[in-house]
Structure 1
Amino acid sequence: MSSMQELFDPVSDIADRLTSAVTWESGARLWPSNEQQALTCCRVIDETHDVKTFAFCTQDKMPVRFEPGQFMTVSATVAGQSVERCYTISSPPSRPYLVSITVKRVPGGVMSNWLHDNLRPGSHLLAYGPSGTFTSTASTARQSLYLSAGSGVTPLMSMTRASIDLGLDRDIAFVHSARTPADIIFREELKQLARLSPKLKLFFICEGVREHDDWSGATGRLTLQQLSEWLPDFAEREVFTCGPAGYMSAVKALLRDGGHDPAHYHQESFDITADAGPEATMPSSHATSNTFTVKLSRSSKTFTMSASETVLSAAKKAGVAIASSCSQGVCGTCKTKVLEGTVNMKHNGGIREREVQKGFHLLCCSRPTSDLVLEL
């Protein structure tokens, strides 16, 4: 019997599948991150007073494959203007027939307010395929620490749901920060998941408590002392964190002060609360007067551009319509194959090395170092 256990350990086998991208790349079709299709809203769930989950299915009712923690870029026409925003997929890839995003209504936010006010079951929304490298498949660690704040809980919720769906009693410590108890997203579901998986440990901390809140938990902001009391072994865990930019900076400093190895730290590299304005051109590291010619292979259109510009910015100036969203090298929406020429690309995780090896680049963070021919 013991020899058989050495040959096949079902828990270890499940763990290997959970931390392998191959698990989520089988059984469903590939939806490229630069391909747009229409989704149908099937369900709208009120999570908190200002957070809703929107569940979608594809037009042909086929499953969608993605990795837990990835996001997709949605597109809508708001007040006559085309608006695109990135939202993390909160549903797990183990339930591929419905793809959900969980959206906080941001004061003055163009897309978030439009989604809350207009999206209903039966509504249609355009979206680009899943993308991103902030995923639990980035590590094979058996002990994890999930740190989130606000709607940054969504990618970690996808990871947690996937773990439970696969029947793996995985050692996950989930620490979530919220403004008040009423703002804790997925509070009851997380408690239910913890009952299903004894090794899932939950910790909530609220910045403040209102007069009528029934709350006996931790208050204030997460500190090294509090984290150490909850999890004396936090420095030994693989850390995944997502939340507002300020929160992630504070958490990174906290972990560093606590002796956590940065090599085992992963964070979502864009501010998930952002719902703001137009594309901002990334700063150039140096000025130059060099100009290059860019040719589009499919349309035969050409334009010239400065070496200090991003290819995306120059293309838009030339009237070339290219799908894009974050403009920070994160979402992967503007991924395009460079057929001829070279570029200097400084991305933030929106493209994989194997894609770069095949000639693909993110135009929003690529600057030419020669004349170019693009597959557009």
Structure 2
Amino acid sequence: MTLHQPNISTPVTFWDASEPLECISVIPEAPNVATFCFQAPSGALFSYVPGQFVTLELPVPGGPLYRTYTISSSPSRPITLTITVKAQDGSMGTRWMLDHLKPGMRITAMGPAGRFSNHFHPSEKYLFISAGSGITPMVSMTTWMFDSGRPADVMFINCARRPSEIIFRQRLEHMASRFPELDLKFVVKETDPFRPWTGYQGRFNQLMLSQITPDYLEREVFCCGPESFMHSVREALVGLGFDMERYHQESFQPAEEDDVAPMEDDVIPDETVSAEVVFAHSDVTQTCTENDTLLTTARAAGLNIPSGCTFGVCGTCKIKKVSGQVHMVHNGGITDEDVEDGYILACCSKPIGRVEVEA
């Protein structure tokens, strides 16, 4: 493994998506879980906000696959960037990474992006609640606070199936031993054979939340994990009278309909009405209905617009709209400034009449 040493006689440069990432190490964390550590081949440093994510272009058989992962490292340690992935049943991209991504390989990445970060919601007290690989943004934010030397009061709750599947346990326990403001609690569903467990056990619920964090009403809450887990956390907080304006979650699964952000919603797509999309750079025009997204229309025309989540979270499919009108309903994957500049997300934008895009 070759580490690129910064040359203090030359200006510091920062990585951007025009340069691939080089994998320099793979660290097993738990069953079907590993941390992949990357560097920029040029030696450029990484700049991002703790809690943000990147989208990787994975060269799986049959064509590239785009997958979005939260950064598990902290920008306070800018020489490397790490992501920690957990393979689920049916995983394609993550399974490929665990089986094939090795040190020395280079892959294309886009980002960083996202607003799931304590930097955007400053507070003296935080409550971080996570399950499974949803722990990654919490670790990034906690490491940033630890490295800053001025940590906030953090109650850190992580839920796992069993103790051996707790990701980053040793790292978190080390930070908690040096960082009195960090109160660390683990909750498991079942114990490991031959190893006693003296912590919380069972399904995380409202009673457990109020016992672990009596002052939850005073805290800014960040939650990440499977959608069913986050739903139960939201219900618990609502039932306890929590101000949900102070609740923030990260998800790469489709949100509830009431949670999405509509754009240009003065029109409603009609599946019986035809539309036309002009892909200017490709010199292709494709007909469709107003209920088809630009992404599916592009694929029907044989074009490949990079995409990750496909429901408006990751922002990978952002393209420039030249003319026309679309109905866009996204989940936070594009900023108001980008929309004002004419950008849209292909995965969740539906054409109204004739639309021309730079693709």
Q: TM-score, normalised by structure 2?
A: 0.88
Alignment correspondent of 1:21 = none
Q: Deviations over 1:219-275 (max 9, x none)?
A: 001122222122111122111000011101111101111111111111113249xxx
- Between 329-338 and 69-78, the greater mean CA deviation after superposition: 69-78
Alignment correspondent of 1:41 = 23
Whichever residue aligns with residue 247 of structure 1, its letter is F
Q: Deviations over 1:297-339 (max 9, x none)?
A: 3333222221111111111101122111110101100001112
**How is 1:318-333 mapped onto 2 (pairs within 5 angstroms)?**
318-333=301-316
Whichever residue aligns with residue 72 of structure 2, its letter is S
Which secondary structure state, in structure 2, belongs to the residue aligned with residue 86 of structure 1? strand
1:76 matched to 2:58? The reply is: yes
Which secondary structure state, in structure 2, belongs to the residue aligned with residue 177 of structure 1? strand
- Are the structure 2 counterparts of residues 216 and 173 from structure 1 closer, same or farther at C-alpha, using a change threshold of 3 Å? same
Contact 1:236 1:260 in 2 (8 A): no
Alignment correspondent of 1:212 = 194
Q: Distance in 1 between matches of 2:174 and 2:347?
A: 42
- Residue identity over aligned pairs, in percent, reads 39
- Are the structure 2 counterparts of residues 287 and 293 from structure 1 closer, same or farther at C-alpha, using a change threshold of 3 Å? closer
Aligned pair partner of 2:166 in 184, 195, 205: 184
Alignment correspondent of 1:281 = none
Q: Distance in 2 between matches of 1:171 and 1:245?
A: 26
Tell me how far 1:77 sits from its aligned partner: 2.4
Tell me how far 1:295 sits from its aligned partner: 2.1
Aligned pair partner of 2:350 in 344, 367, 375: 367
1:127 matched to 2:109? The reply is: yes
1:236 matched to 2:231? The reply is: no
Alignment correspondent of 1:168 = 150
Tell me how far 1:210 sits from its aligned partner: 2.5
1:252 matched to 2:228? The reply is: no
- Between 202-211 and 295-304, the greater mean CA deviation after superposition: 295-304
Gaps of 5+ in 2: 1-11, 255-266
Contact 1:37 1:128 in 2 (8 A): no
1:345 matched to 2:328? The reply is: yes
Which secondary structure state, in structure 2, belongs to the residue aligned with residue 226 of structure 1? helix
Q: Deviations over 1:28-65 (max 9, x none)?
A: 6473xxx5642111111111232110000122221122
Q: Distance in 2 between matches of 1:196 and 1:57?
A: 28
Which secondary structure state, in structure 2, belongs to the residue aligned with residue 372 of structure 1? strand
- Between 290-299 and 242-251, the greater mean CA deviation after superposition: 290-299
Q: Distance in 1 between matches of 2:182 and 2:301?
A: 52
Q: Distance in 2 between matches of 1:171 and 1:28?
A: 34
Number of residue-to-residue matches in the alignment? 336
Alignment correspondent of 1:148 = 130
Q: Distance in 1 between matches of 2:352 and 2:144?
A: 43
Q: Distance in 2 between matches of 1:112 and 1:318?
A: 28
Q: Distance in 2 between matches of 1:100 and 1:138?
A: 22
Q: Distance in 1 between matches of 2:153 and 2:232?
A: 24
Q: Distance in 2 between matches of 1:302 and 1:226?
A: 56
Tell me how far 1:213 sits from its aligned partner: 2.0
Tell me how far 1:343 sits from its aligned partner: 1.1
Tell me how far 1:292 sits from its aligned partner: 2.6
Q: TM-score, normalised by structure 1?
A: 0.85
Gaps of 5+ in 1: 1-26, 273-283
Q: Distance in 1 between matches of 2:24 and 2:32?
A: 20
Aligned pair partner of 2:297 in 314, 324, 340: 314
Whichever residue aligns with residue 314 of structure 1, its letter is T
Specify which structure has the bigger relative contact order, considering alpha-carbon pairs within 8 angstroms and separated by 6 or more residues.
Answer: 1
1:112 matched to 2:94? The reply is: yes
Alignment correspondent of 1:18 = none
Q: Distance in 2 between matches of 1:90 and 1:205?
A: 21
**How is 1:259-298 mapped onto 2 (pairs within 5 angstroms)?**
259-271=241-253, 287-298=270-281
Alignment correspondent of 1:24 = none
Which secondary structure state, in structure 2, belongs to the residue aligned with residue 147 of structure 1? strand
- Are the structure 2 counterparts of residues 370 and 63 from structure 1 closer, same or farther at C-alpha, using a change threshold of 3 Å? farther
TM superposition outliers: structure 1 runs of 4+ over 4 Å? none
Q: Distance in 1 between matches of 2:62 and 2:271?
A: 37
Contact 2:268 2:327 in 1 (8 A): no
Whichever residue aligns with residue 178 of structure 2, its letter is L
Which secondary structure state, in structure 1, belongs to the residue aligned with residue 20 of structure 2? strand
Contact 1:73 1:331 in 2 (8 A): yes
Contact 1:172 1:199 in 2 (8 A): yes
Which secondary structure state, in structure 2, belongs to the residue aligned with residue 252 of structure 1? helix
Q: Distance in 1 between matches of 2:113 and 2:196?
A: 39
Q: Distance in 2 between matches of 1:80 and 1:127?
A: 19
Contact 1:169 1:198 in 2 (8 A): no
Whichever residue aligns with residue 250 of structure 2, its letter is E
Q: Distance in 1 between matches of 2:15 and 2:43?
A: 14
Alignment correspondent of 1:334 = 317
